Each structure stands twice: as C-alpha cells, then as structure tokens.
Amino acid sequence: MGIISFIVNWLTRLVIYILSAGPVPQHVAFVMDGNRRYARHKQVEVSEGHMDGFGALKRMLEICLRLGIKCVTVYAFSIENFKRPRGEVDTLMTLAKEKLDELCSHGDLLDKYQVRLNVLGKTELLAPDVLEVVHRVEAMTAKHNGAILNICMPYTSREEITSAVESIVRSHQSGEIELDDITPETLEARLYTKLRESPKLDILVRTSGVHRLSDFLLWQACADTQIHFSNVYWPDFALRDLVPVLLDYQRKQVYGGVGTKDSEMHELIRGKLRDDDIPQTFTLNYKTPSAGVPFPCRYLKICPISPHGTSYNMSIWHVGLFGIKDEGFVKRVHDGYIKHKETLALHLILKHLRRSNFLDAHTSLLAQTGLRTEHSKITQLHDALVINSDLATTEELVKSIAGEEGLFEYCARVSPPACVWKRITPGGDAGRIPVGRGGHQLCLDAERGVIYLFGGWDGSKNLSDFWSYTIFTNQWKLIHEDTAAVGGPSARSCHNMVYCHTNRTLYVLGQLKDQPRAGGGNPQPQRADADFFKCSLDATGESGAWTLLNPSGVEAAGGPHSISDHQMIIDEENSLIHDPARNDGPSPNPINIYSRTGHGMVLYPPTNEIFIVGGRRSNPRWVPDMYSFTHTTLATQRIPLDPSIVHSITASRICIDEKAGEIYILITQHNERDRSRADPATFMTYHIEKKLWVRSEPWLGPFQPSPSGDVWEGLELPRPRSAHQVVYDSVNRVFYMFGGNSGEDGIPRLNDLWSMRLVRPTVNELLRKALLAVRKFRFKLMCDTVPPFEALTYLQTQVSEVADNDDENEAADLRGLLSYLLSRTSDGDTRMNGDNTKLNEQSRKERRELFDFLMQFVDPAEREPETELRDIVENV
C-alpha cells in the first residue's frame, strides 16, 4: 500500500466514522442513472460508461456496508431498456454476467461482507445464459446473512405491483384468501423486495440530475422514504455525494429550561431515535456548558432536524422525564441558576465596556458590584498590553501567568496529545519469548514494573503458558509452561485476569476451551464451565502458586455458570472484585445497562463509579454506548460518546488514570470484515470531571519505506488488530500493547510488544508559543519605529530564540517577518499619514487581538467569558 493511498483510505474512514455517529438507515436504494451521458461527457464509448458505472456500484456498496447499512437496492436495468439498440443491450447483458460472477468470487465484496445477492424483476425476459448466471450467484450467496444486495433487472415498479396483484387474485381463486381480507399489507407482502426479506426503504437516491423515479420502487417509496436527487452522474457518485444524504437522515435535538424562549433553554441532548416501539432512555445534561451550574427544567422542546420521510414527519408517542421534583430542592437550584445568570450578565457587560474602551464606566461598575471577573494577573496583562502598549511588561506578565500562577496548566492538560509509539524488542530466557496469540490477558504491576501474560489462542489451539515481562531489564521470563500442571487454570482464551497490588495476587475467571471439530482439523474454542483461580506471587514477582478458589464450581458460590469475553475490575480499597451483571437491588433510575461481551470496563475509586464502554450483544452488531454505574448507590448514567468513535468501538481497549481523572480508549480496529484496511490506532481521552472528549492521533515521523513494502513498518506504527491486550503504567504514564489478530492473509497471530506515550504540549511549550506571538507583534511595531538594523537584530536574537526552526510553519513565519522588514522603508519612518484617531483605534484593535490569542492558553475560570455581548443581543 503506497503512502498516498494509505492517507486517502485513512481520510475516507474518518468521514465514514463521522457519518456513522448519526442514525444509520437500514435500506438505501439507488437509481444508477447517467452512464451514457457520463460517456458522452468523457468522450468515450458507451460500454466504458457502463463499466465505470459498475465500478461506482462496487464503491458505493462497500461504503454502505462499512456504514452498517443492511440492504442496498439498485436499479440496474429497466424492462423499457430492452427498447435500446440491440448492441447496447447485448453489451449490458454481457457486462452483467461478468460482473455478477466477479461480485460473488471468493474474497470479493459479497464474500467478505457475507452479502446475499437477489436479482429482482421479470427475470424470465433474460437470455438463458444470463439467467443461468443469476441462478448460480443467488445460490452461492443464499446462506449469507451479513447484508442484502438487490439488483433490479429487468424491472419496473408497475410490473412488480402487477405481479403482486396477480398473486393475490390466484390466492383468492384458490380459496386461500377472502376479498375482505385483502389489505395494502397483503399486496406489500407479495412485492419482490418483501419476498426477499428486505427491510422498509429508508432512502432513495437518483443520480444525473433527473427529478423522477422512472418506475422504480413506487410502492416502497411512497410511504416514509426520504428521496434525494443528485446532479452527479452515477459513475462519478462517491462518498462526498452521499454525505449530505446521510446528514439529512433522522436526527433530533432536545432542549430544556425554565422558559420557552430560545435564550432560556439549553441543549440537553443531541442524538437519534430508533424507529420501533421499544422505549429509549437518555441521560440529559442538567448543567450549563461552561460553569457547570445546575439548572431546572420546566419546559422541554424536541427539535427534529430532518423529517422521517417526504410524506410523514417524526412521530413520538410518549415522553417522560425522570428526576428530582422536590419543591425545596428545585427552588434552591433555580435561585442558584438565576444568580449565576445575573453574574454572567454583569461579566459580559464588563467585558463589553472594557473592549469598547469605556474604561471609566468599566471601573465604576466593577467597583460597585465587587465582582471578580478574572485573575488579577490577567487584569494587569490587559492594562500593560491593550491600554499601555507596554510589551516588555507584557512579556514578564506572560511568564508569571504561565509559571508561578499556573494558569497555563489547564490548557496543557486538555490539549490534544499525540500518540508516540515505539516497538519493543525484548529478550528472553534462552531466547524464548511468547508465541503470537489473541484472546490472552495482560496485567501490570506498576510499582515493580512487571507485566504478566497468561493464555490466549495461537490460531490453532488455546495456550496455558504464564509469562512475566520486566520493563527495566526488557526481558521475558517463562514462569509456568503449563499452569494446569502446577494446579492452575487449563489452557484457555477470552478469559479475564486482574491484579491486586496490595497482596501481589492475580485472579483469573472464565474461559473458552478447545472443542474438537467434527471430521478433525484445528479445535474450535467453545464456552466452558466457569472456574476461578488466584495466583499468589512471591516477593520477586517471578514465581507464584495457583489456587482454585471454588472447587465445587463458581455457580455454587453464586457466580456465573459459564462466562467468557467478559470484564473484571478490582476494588483494592474494599477488597472486592466487581461483577456488574449481579442483581444487587433496584436501580434508582430507569437507565438499564444491557448485557454484552467484548466491552471495556474501568473503576474510578474517587467517585466509586464503574465506566462501561461498547461491547457486543447477542447479535453481531457492536453497541456504541458508554455508561457510568456507581456501585455504592446503584445510580446509572448514560454518557454521550464522541461522534467520531460512535462506530469505532469494535476492538477498543480501555484504561484509566485515577490520579489524572482520565479514561483512555485505544481504537486499533474498526472493521472486522476488512481488517487489513483499517487506519492506525487512535486514542480518545475522556476527562471525567470536565466530561470532555479529546482525540489523539498517532505521531507520524518521516516515512521510511521498508524492504517488504509494508506501510506499517514504514510508518513505525503497530498494524491494526483485534483480540489484543493493553495495560497502562500509571506511574510512568506509558501504555503497553501485546499480540492480537491482524486478520490479514498470511500474517499469523501477533507477538509484537509496543509502548506508547501520550505526548501533550507542556506548559513551557505553551509559554514559548505565547512569547513568540508577543515578540512577533513587537518586531512588526519596531519595523515602523526604529532603524531596520535594530529590528533585524531583534528578529535574529529575540524572535528566533523562541521559534522552533524544526516546525515548518514557524520557520515560514520567520521568513515572512524578514520579508515584512524588507518591505518597509529604509529610514524606519513608515507611519501612515492621516487621522491619528483611526491609527490609534487600529493599533488598539491589534493589541486586543494579541490579548485574545494569549487568553486561549489561560484556564477559562480565570479569564473573562468567551461570549460577546453583541453576539447574544436579539434583533429588535
């Protein structure tokens, strides 16, 4: 894979992930129109236009499948198309035979995504050789259950409806149905799409700029389907053209507040509703976005951003609110909220007065109210920079604000970090290191710097080896080659293991066991009876004794009969291993956490919260959600996921830093059916207190082509994978990842070990950028007020001192500053002739813009609000 195609593929996936954050339609249909006009426009043969049209079909089909769309229907050939020139019809039929076979070939789209192909229409009109191919490909994909592709050829909606009516007539004549029993549903059940188990049609797209349906899915599209017309010819239709279609699909916003005016309401949630009768419960925001002040709700406003269809609007039959309605409590919240609004209003007025240079009014109002609008050093900075234009004092204040005052620390903490990966090449006893595997378990003793590895699946069998890896010595050590032989657990995968630092003990629960396959071959993992072991490690951490905790079975002690692909967390303070599936009593709120496997789970001791992310339910789909569960109060809260990862939780790994109050989600694999094309691992950081998501991308150094041509080796990044494990060293703030399954042909289970650091901008780095901005501003002033040589000396010494020459943007800025100097007059006096008042106003505006730039590094709680008073004043 070349670097250009790699980047294009990465960006495409990013767009798909963003689209997937909204509701995903289940059935999308395309009128593939414009092949001939496309050919004329390109000045090529019509047959080439049809060939490119098939390429567009494959391209859009794969995009739809990656989005999770379950059914795609395309209008490939109308019955009316038989009236076209014989040569063109023959070309289309030949192309259909070739491409149907190609679609169903091993490893192609339909095989990879397990898509069932249906050819809908009056197929008896097809030539015998074409019909033979149709029957063959339908039989080849008949047992596929991943998605549905309906190719309509030869087809018209009138013929489909006529066929359904004829079927009803025959049923009536045979006595199978009475006239009084015939309903619209009776006819719909006999349509080609229903006979092939297609879901209801959500979206219909017609390309080439023609605004008609051309006798396509007339019955299906007349109820609640969204219809979109695109001016793009079908061969050119791409993801960029599908984006507005999907963004128009059903969305909603919910607002609430103490009044009905827009200014009195806050956004409570932005999300989607399912189209079914199953109740949905959402956790609503109840605090102001910046200050986090609780507000009461008296009114609720639900805003559908787009209609349910062209003929029907969204229909919500019941809305219920759950919360605190104690009159005294609500009054206290209301009074606090009103007081907060009054204070914020005064802050905005004070900001407006100072920004508009009404300094006397600003000083008077500030003295009268006694408000603390910002940190005292910020006030001094404003006076020095904006009012007095004292840039030397400005520099000293910026250093003080970032240093002893610590006002840059918040920005450093919440700025998006970069993921810096490093491959580790460890040694081992007699050169032995763990074999490649997936479904294993890792635990980390951060105090001693030791990682423990147990079990897993090597692609043909389960493993029972037990290893330790010492970070300081970079060495693997085999503790037990077969734990079952020393009284420990048998070979297994998809188990779970936790480590207790207090007593240096590992706990292992659950398993998938080897189950021999009928007729021989590699064994297949199967769920087995649960057993519960502990391993007591010695002081060195290099040896341990295994104990079966429940000889009579876990179920006899109130545990699960069998369990695998689950999660455990240990509460060392209370000596508990939590099992959230256990029913400990009624929940105080109506939010239920549904059963799942393959999820992520961490404990946050300061609030006794358990955070649960993603997972898979009984069907193959992953659950894109996140919950917090307080085990002391049984309170449950649903936490909105960042839209960019809503459909990226398929192989996530979750870690937590208790001191920093941050949850980390590592996403290394997005599409189980196409693992070889996934993008590099990314990180999402969730700040628990701020309820803030921050995305981190991998740091990409210079691309170094590898001898094998492998792009991951060239980028020095871990290849995408699933069934891997990640642990976090909270002492040194380093992540470690081992093993997994890449899913790529010819690549076995992995045994590579990687470390990763989240590199955030430091306070010193932020200070450097702030000083660079101040000195660049000062240099431009010097170009107009001092001799050029003096300005050049300042550029070469003071400005260059805080510039990063390795940063291409900053290096370009330095060159631009030199050009700026050369453009000024040689005598240093380039002051404009004209109104001095206007010049002073312009200069003050520029200083104010510099002040605003510096404020982005300051903790929001210590500076004036970002909102402008003039931006919220209603038109009158």
> Which pLDDT value is given to residue 228?
85
> Which pLDDT value is given to residue 876?
45
- For the chain, give the number of residues: 876
What letter represents residue 265's amino acid?
M
Q: Kind and range of the H or E element at 429?
A: none
Nearest one of 647, 758, 652 to 21, comparing CA atoms: 647
Cα-flanking dihedrals φ and ψ of residue 736, to 5°? -130, 135
Helix orientation angle between 327-355 and 359-369, rounded to the nearest 10 degrees = 150
> Which pLDDT value is given to residue 528?
57
Beta-bridge partners for 480? 466
Do residues 115 and 65 touch, judged by C-beta distance below 8 A? Answer: yes
Beta-bridge partners for 685? 664, 694
**Gap between the terminal Cα atoms of the chain:** 59
> Which pLDDT value is given to residue 262?
66
Do residues 200 and 222 touch, judged by C-beta distance below 8 A? Answer: no
> Which pLDDT value is given to residue 839?
67
SS (H, E, C) 437-478: CECCEEEEECCCCEEEEEEEECCCCEEEEEEEEECCCCEEEE
Q: How is residue 510 annotated by DSSP?
A: -
Do residues 854 and 769 touch, judged by C-beta distance below 8 A? Answer: no
Q: How far apart are CA 615 and CA 601, in angstroms?
A: 10
Name all domains of the chain by residue range, CATH numbers in brackets: 24-247 (3.40.1180.10), 252-334 (no CATH), 375-413+763-872 (no CATH), 418-759 (2.120.10.80)
Sheet harboring 662-667: ordered strands across?
652-657, 662-667, 682-687, 692-696
Do residues 434 and 467 touch, judged by C-beta distance below 8 A? Answer: yes
Q: How far apart are CA 694 and CA 685, in angstroms?
A: 5
Q: How many helices (H) and strands (E) does the chain have?
A: 23, 34
Q: How far apart are CA 763 and CA 769, in angstroms?
A: 10
> Which pLDDT value is given to residue 505?
92
Q: How far apart are CA 147 and CA 149, in angstroms?
A: 7
Q: Tens digit of pLDDT for each residue in 427-460?
A: 887 788 999 999 999 999 988 899 999 999 998 8
3-state secondary structure at position 253: strand
Burial 674-696 (b: 16+ CB within 10 A, else e): bbebbbbbbbbbbebeeeebbeb
Q: Tens digit of pLDDT for each residue in 355-370?
A: 888 999 989 998 998 8
| Residue that the structure tokens 């409570």 belong to | 268
> Which pLDDT value is given to residue 712?
79
Q: What is the mean pLDDT of the chain?
A: 82
What letter represents residue 209's amino acid?
G
Q: How far apart are CA 75 and CA 217, in angstroms?
A: 9
Beta-bridge partners for 300? 256
SS (H, E, C) 618-653: CCCCECCCEEEEECCCCEEEECCCCHHHCCCCCCEE
Q: How is residue 84 annotated by DSSP?
A: S
Range list of H helices, 21-74:
35-42, 46-67
Query: Degrees (nearest 5) of the Cα angle 170, 175, 180?
Result: 90
> Which pLDDT value is given to residue 827?
45
Other C-beta atoms lying within 10 Å of the C-beta of residue 71: 25
Please identify every stretch of the chain with a pLDDT value under 70, giving residue numbers as ranges: 1-2, 4, 20-23, 106-107, 222-224, 248-260, 262-263, 269-280, 304-315, 513-529, 577-591, 618-623, 643-651, 668-679, 701-703, 706, 709, 825-839, 874-876
Cα-flanking dihedrals φ and ψ of residue 872, to 5°? -110, 0
Is the entire prediction scored with pTM above 0.75? no
Beta-bridge partners for 115? 147
| Residue that the structure tokens 């070979």 belong to | 491
Do residues 751 and 406 touch, judged by C-beta distance below 8 A? Answer: no
As given in the structure block, the two tokens for residue 219 are: 């019955």
> Which pLDDT value is given to residue 278?
64
DSSP per-residue codes, 517-573:
PTTSSS-EEEE-B--EEEEEE-TTSS-EEEEES-TT-TGGGT--SB--S---EEETT
CA quadruple 176, 179, 182, 186: dihedral sign: positive
